[in-house]
Amino acid sequence: MIRHIVFWKLKVEAEGASAKENGQKMVDAFHALEGKIPGLVSIESGLNFGKAELGNGDVEYDIALDTTFRTKEALDFYQGHPEHQAIVAFVKKVVTERRAVDFEF
């Protein structure tokens, strides 16, 4: 099994929406992938509910994604899948920073 975990910092405002609104759009889009991509076992995403306002840089990261895949090939397939790529296009417009880790367990 493969775990793919990603964290993002959001812009205060982008695409005509606040960091919180854009973060929620990301969460909803990632959750909508469930059951649509072969080899994707689980997908969870959420906004940081810390005291600082999202997008202000005071929070380590504003949003997290935690996914599990059956194989490395399944992760590669997910990365190139058109529905995932549509999310990536949006994410690139609304984030300032990204960190990721992939590991096998």
The predicted pLDDT at position 95 comes to 97
The tokens of 37 are what? 């991509």
Tell me the domains of the chain and their CATH numbers: 2-104 (3.30.70.100)
Type of residue at 22: N
pLDDT one-digit tens code per residue, 19-45: 999 999 999 999 999 999 999 999 999
Residues 50-97 have pLDDT tens digits of 767 888 877 789 999 999 999 999 999 999 999 999 999 999 999 999
Directed axis angle between helix 72-80 and helix 82-94, to 10°? 70
Quote the pLDDT of residue 58. Answer: 74
